[in-house]
Amino acid sequence: MIAINMPKHVKYIINTLEKNGYEAYAVGGCVRDAIIGKEPNDWDITTNATPMQVKKLFKHTIDTGIQHGTVTIMIDKVGYEVTTYRIDGKYADGRHPDKVEFTVSLKEDLKRRDFTINAMAYNDTKGIIDLFGGIEDLKEGIVKCVGNPYNRFDEDALRILRAFRFAAVLNFEVEEKTKKAAGDLAENLNKISKERIRTELDKLIMSDTPEKLMEARKCGLLKYILSEVEDDINIELVKAMPKNNYMKWAALLYHREEEEVSKILKKLKFDNKTVNICKRIVGYSKDFRNIYKENVRVAAHEVGVDIFDKFLEFSKVCINLQDWKGGEYPDNSDYINNIEHLYKKVIDDGDCLSLKELAVKGGDLMEIGVPKGAKLGEILNILLYKVLDNPKYNNREKLLEIAGNIINNE
């Protein structure tokens, strides 16, 4: 019997439920990951106790999704989701089953789960409950639907994308029939919320084998989820990027215009910060061969100090893979090493790189007669570029003198 070493709080929850006459098991992703020796993200528990019965047995609980049977038990600030055995109906909104029915059968609960590798349960008394050949598929490295893939993808089309996401994260293959059904029903992805699609895509491209995305493309999925870049992905670039969310997405969208990057990410309901950062990483292209401290400061300002180091790292990967759109083609990434070196000096010297660090503010310029409005911003910007060119100018007198000259010459 395979034994899984469950965390003590999970054991405690399962024991408590069992002691009170209920069944309880760790289930789904945690069982899968534990079997292959991967640290599970979180431990989900399935039980025949109803949410009310669960709540009676534990001190701190949160009603996470009572109508779907889920109660979160809090122990030492960590939450454990306990869900009553259930049978799911169709997912009309692609988010929640329209109606769920509680059941007393573990088998029914496992049957509603997406893939055989995700449909196993475990506890210390019963061992692994594997009713659909999950262990075998884990060994073979196969992602296969529980039951008829056409029915399963029809109930919830997100599973189509999840199949490739798990294939990527685990470096598995999607089983043939499952793959065929995924291709045939790909259009149903139109019904799925963008947030859910984003979450799966995110996990897929952050995995060790993002090239599984190209298999999803072969099956025709990208038309419905990333049509804008369907024919224009350099997956090697995505793969070679460090595991940073911004860099991965910027790599995926590298061949798009800045404005389109923003459109695509907004459509996928990314937060503004991510949109903004990815846009800056993709959008900045300059000739990086003749580089001095002066233009390193300008570049750091224009890309943004918050991500300039990431941008440089990103650029190095692009150059090494000979996929570079910044100005004339540098023959190797030494150029970027040189910029990194200079940038470090700029930072060590505490050079001004943004309006925030400029020695004069809008108020100072208003005092010498610059009217509030666009003009004020324009002059501040001119002053900043003077300072980027020569950090010695970053003092009040010098900058007010320059500003005075600008006004007088108009």
- The dihedral over CA atoms of 189, 190, 195, 200, expressed in degrees to the nearest 10, equals 20
Q: What number of chain residues touch Mg ion (CB under 5 A)?
A: 1
Q: Which stretch binds Mg ion (CB under 5 A): 14-22, 25-33, 201-209, 315-323?
A: 25-33
Q: Which stretch binds Mg ion (CB under 5 A): 21-29, 176-184, 222-230, 272-280?
A: 21-29
Task: Provide the CB-side half-sphere exposure for 209 (13 A, CA).
Answer: 14
CA distances 276 to 13, 195, 246, 389, Å, are 43, 18, 10, 26
CB-closest chain residue to ligand ATP: 29
How many CB atoms within 10 Å of residue 272?
10
Residues within the interface to ligand ATP (CB under 6 A): 28-29, 41, 44, 113-114, 118-119, 156, 158-159
**Smallest distance, Å, CB 129 to Mg ion?**
18
Sole binder of Mg ion in the list 27, 29, 130, 168 (CB under 5 A): 29
Q: Given the complex with ligand ATP, which of 158 and 353 has the nearer CB atom?
A: 158
Answer yes or no whether residue 40 interacts with Mg ion by CB under 5 A. no
Q: Given the complex with Mg ion, which of 29 and 97 has the nearer CB atom?
A: 29
Nearest CA to 304 out of 241, 353, 244 is that of 353
Task: Give me the long-range contacts of 124-131 (CB less than 8 A, separation at least 24).
Answer: 124/3, 124/6, 124/11, 124/14, 125/18, 126/25, 127/1, 127/2, 127/3, 128/1, 128/2, 128/4, 128/31, 128/35, 129/25, 131/107
Q: Given the complex with ligand ATP, which of 81 and 215 has the nearer CB atom?
A: 81
Q: Which stretch binds Mg ion (CB under 5 A): 1-9, 24-32, 131-139, 191-199?
A: 24-32
Q: Given the complex with Mg ion, which of 29 and 51 has the nearer CB atom?
A: 29
**Smallest distance, Å, CB 46 to Mg ion?**
13
Nearest CA to 137 out of 176, 182, 108 is that of 176
How is residue 306 written in tokens? 């918050």
CB 211 within 8 A of CB 235: yes
Q: How many residues does the chain have?
A: 410
**Smallest distance, Å, CB 152 to ligand ATP?**
8
Q: Given the complex with Mg ion, which of 28 and 326 has the nearer CB atom?
A: 28
Q: Given the complex with Mg ion, which of 81 and 215 has the nearer CB atom?
A: 81
Q: Which stretch binds Mg ion (CB under 5 A): 4-12, 27-35, 240-248, 281-289?
A: 27-35
User: Which residues sit at the interface with Mg ion, rule CB under 5 A?
Assistant: 29
